[in-house]
Structure 1
Amino acid sequence: MHDGSHDELDLDERDEESDEPPRRPRRKGIYILPNLFTLAGLFGGFYAIVMAMNGRYDQAAIGVFCAMVLDSLDGRVARMTNTQSAFGEQMDSLSDMVSFGAAPALIVYEWALRGLGKLGWIAAFVYCSGAALRLARFNTNIGVVDKRFFQGLPSPAAAALVTGFIWLMDDSGFKEAGAIEWLSWTAFGFTLYAGLTMVTNVPFYSFKDVSFKRTVPFIVIVAIALFIAVVNLHPPLVLFSLFVCYGLSGYVVYAWRKTKGKPVTVFSTSTHEPDEEGLHR
């Protein structure tokens, strides 16, 4: 005969199980190594703002350049150590907005644009908003853009154009540009150029296909040593000249490809293999 005692035991076990608190989802940890580089880059941008507020524009420019170096390292470190994460991507974007968006805009406004009145702060805002739009577009288009090229001038290079000019002029003895009309308007032009070029579709080479794991000829190491020596001759002039050339290179490539009838946009023909398909019309 069927006995109801088994049913009662089953009910008791279910009641006991139902009394147990639900298990919490396991918290995801944060990879410390790449985020240390990101935080250090954020500190570089914050340091630059503080130095500009104290009139130390040369130190402000150096802070931005240091943030650029650290920004180029955090992603590579994450990939090399297999520590990529969604948190790291968001942290990197927020850090870039401070270091390469807000900081250069505030520095150039304090150094040269304040005396231009409304035009001055409008130029600074165009640069700051251009950096924000550039970063947002980069994050949303990351899966469909050819990785060999940036869509528009990358924000670190735009920051180098603006702060590099300030660093060079400060090193030449122009500590306060607000009282010098031609210098204020030159800074105005650089700020607008950098801000607007960030939101264009002009392709700028990204150097992401350069692999540090491959062997290179001995002459490459010699060339790197010579480059370091040249930079040390006069860092403000050499670095600013390099970024001026890079800031113009996208338009040169665009015009050359246009005249040759070659593809000019950075969108891939396939969303599955964007870095293999290359550019298309």
Structure 2
Amino acid sequence: MSHQDDLHYPNTSKSEPADEAQVHHRHKSIYLLPNAFTTAALFCAFFAIVKAMSGDFAFAAILIFFSMVLDGMDGRVARMTNTQSAFGEQYDSLADMVSFGVAPALIMFQWQLKDFGTGRLGLIVAFVYCVCAALRLARFNTNIAVVDKRFFQGLPSPSAAALVAGFVWLVSENRLDVQDSVLPWVALAVTLFAGLSMITTLPYYSGKAMDVRHSVSFPKLLVALAVGLAIVSNPPLTLFALFVAYALSGYLIGFLKRKKSQSTVENNH
């Protein structure tokens, strides 16, 4: 049973006062280990902004991916060590806003959108991405107890950040040849697509629905190994392709669900 469940359904045994005191203490506690991972993720995002300001865009993009990895670890560490807390949840959400909202927007703006036209259009698009990330995180925090845990509602902000950072990394290292005259437009489209996808209601598969503790079939293991080898051989291209596919998957799943619901309604009539 989760920590939130404990708050709503406390133990009714004789030890209830002690249990409630323990839950109350855990709710207000600040734990070092998971918050250390959150702080490290926040530092990577901050350092990414600093590197973008100095013109090292490839390294700035790589730091966003490091921030993603660390952000994914803090929650798992908290669950493994039973150190979840309300402070940790709020701290993680604020760090996510910097890591996956502010940092990618500033990196993309500094890289391509700063000199786009008069500069205002690029500024607006970068800010739209930032606002969409804030709205996505706020909606996630308020709907966490009511949505289907198998799916995210809208593109998750780390995936949107990976889409933006992956494109920056891919082009900065000349792994993708884009003409200079077209590149600002493509950068603008990628930023706008990533931002608006976050505030849609499209369903995206959640990795939380996967239980890695259970055995997997041999074909799935081969696919995982193939993906791992592809990432090692060409990290920017593979990561960008994976997150593009994931970003598009929500639109495909949403379309299929809509067709299925329409078919069900027609059959009922």
TM-score, normalization: structure 1? 0.79
Name the aligned partner's letter for residue 55 of structure 1.
G
Query: What displacement does 1:230 show?
Result: 1.3
Residue number in structure 2 paired with 1:260? 260
Largest Rg, 1 or 2:
1
Looking at structure 2, the residues matched to 73 and 173 of structure 1 have their Cα atoms a distance apart, in angstroms, of 29
Aligned partner of 2:126 in structure 1 is 124
Q: Quote the residue 1:166 is aligned against.
A: 168
The CA distance in 2 between the partners of 1:174 and 1:220, in whole Å, is 29
Partner of 2:182: helix, strand, or coil? helix
Matching of residue 38 in structure 1 with residue 38 in structure 2: yes
The alignment status of 1:181 with 2:215, answered yes or no, reads no
* Residue aligned with 2:204, SS: strand
Query: Relative to structure 1, is the Cα distance of residues 181 and 141 closer, same or farther in structure 2, using a 3 angstrom cutoff?
Result: same
- Report the residue type matching 2:59 in the other structure: Q
How many Å apart are 1:163 and its aligned residue? Answer: 1.1
Query: Aligned residue for 2:228?
Result: 228
2:9 equivalent in structure 1: none
Identity of aligned residues (%): 56
Distance in 1 separating the partners of 2:245 and 2:214: 27
Give the Cα–Cα distance (whole angstroms) in 1 for the partners of residues 152 and 223 of structure 2: 26
Inter-partner Cα distance in structure 2 for 1:30 and 1:247: 35
Q: Which amino acid aligns with 2:85?
A: S
1:239 is aligned to 239
**Which residue of 2 is the match for residue 10 of structure 1?**
none
Query: 8 Å contact 2:170–2:237 — kept in the other structure?
Result: yes
Q: Distance in 2 between matches of 1:166 and 1:89?
A: 30
Cα shift at 1:212: 2.4
- What is the DSSP-based 3-state SS (H/G/I as helix, E as strand, rest coil) of the residue aligned with 1:261? helix
Map 1:48-59 onto structure 2 (within 5 A).
Answer: 48-59=48-59
Structure 1 residue 174: deviation in Å? 8.4
Q: Mark the runs of 5 or more structure 1 residues left unpaired by the alignment.
A: 1-24, 264-281
Describe the superposition over 1:224-250 as per-residue Cα deviations: whole angstroms up to 9, x where unpaired.
Answer: 333221111111100000000001000
Distance 2:227 2:142 in 1: 35
Do the aligned residues in 1 keep the contact of 2:41 with 2:67 (CA within 8 Å)? yes
The structure with the greater share of residues assigned to helix is 2
RMSD: 2.3
**How high is the TM-score relative to the length of structure 2?**
0.82
CA–CA separation in structure 2 for the residues paired with 1:183 and 1:34: 39
1:34 and 1:234 map into 2 onto residues whose CA distance is 31
Letter in 1 for 2:145: G
The alpha carbon displacement at 1:101 in A equals 0.3
Cα gap change, 1:256 to 1:219, in 2 (>3 Å): closer
Which residues of 2 match residues 261-276 of structure 1 at below 5 A? Answer: 261=261
Letter in 1 for 2:154: G
Residue 223 of structure 1 deviates from its aligned partner by: 3.9
In structure 2, give the amino acid aligned to 1:52: A
